Copies of this chain bind each other. A is one copy, B any other.
């Protein structure tokens, strides 16, 4: 046997959907940290959504993506928990500021999006809102606009950084970029959030963000 044969890389399996913003955050983290992974699409819409299959419910009883399967077979869910895990096992380059206050501010922005916007405008909630006869698009736009305006306002008090917090992308930027994509889909007035749009432009120039974009995925429907 030759010892120049590469050791098989332990393989992570990311199951998700091209346009799922939580999946997108994790894709950015994996590419940013240059962690190899296999991407298996779960179609959230076709036939009522593959996330409701018995197989996927065994992976995540909440019928949500993404899920990350470790090479031990263990499944992790919840994008921010998955990204925290990736940070623990592949700490460099880091996605969290080292200063405790800056770190907390990065997580604060991530949570405004993860808990304050996304659950109120995601596909499953809007299907429910629509089924009850309410204006889905208006509902989604209201929550996205309110949340992004709050972030634009919060960061106006922080020292001016190139990214949301600091000299490099953090967990905050990973959450911002997919949320701005949704803002456009819901026709939020982007003139209200000029600083966030500036940061988006900067992120979009970086290879990990390009590779993680929905349009670059095998399951993209363009």
Binding site for B on A (CB under 8 A): 60-62, 64, 70, 74, 76-78, 80-82, 84-85, 88-89, 100-101, 103-105, 107-108, 110-112, 114-116, 118-120, 125, 132, 134, 146-147, 149-150, 153-154
Contacts and interface: CB of A to CB of B under 8 A. Distances in A.
Nearest to A70: B101
B111 A78 contact: yes
Contacts of A70: 101
Given A120-B119, A146-B62, A88 B104 contact: yes
A195 to B, nearest CB: 14
B114 A111 contact: yes
A137 B152 CA distance: 34
Interface hub of A61, A103, A125 (most chain B Cβ within 10 A): A61
B125 A101 contact: no
Contacts of A80: 107, 111, 115
B81 A107 contact: yes
Contacts of A111: 78, 80-81, 114-115
Contact of A125 (B82, B88, B120): B120
27 contacts: A60-B150, A61-B149, A62-B112, A62-B116, A62-B147, A62-B150, A70-B101, A74-B101, A77-B108, A78-B116, A80-B111, A80-B115, A81-B105, A81-B107, A81-B111, A82-B104, A84-B107, A85-B104, A88-B104, A89-B100, A114-B115, A115-B115, A115-B119, A116-B119, A119-B119, A119-B120, A132-B134
Contacts of A150: 60-62
Interface hub of A60, A62, A88 (most chain B Cβ within 10 A): A62
Contacts of A118: 115
Nearest to A142: B128
A84 B103 contact: yes
Nearest to A79: B111
Closest 9 CB pairs of A and B: A88-B100, A85-B104, A81-B108, A78-B111, A81-B107, A115-B115, A61-B150, A78-B108, A119-B119
Interface hub of A104, A134, A147 (most chain B Cβ within 10 A): A104
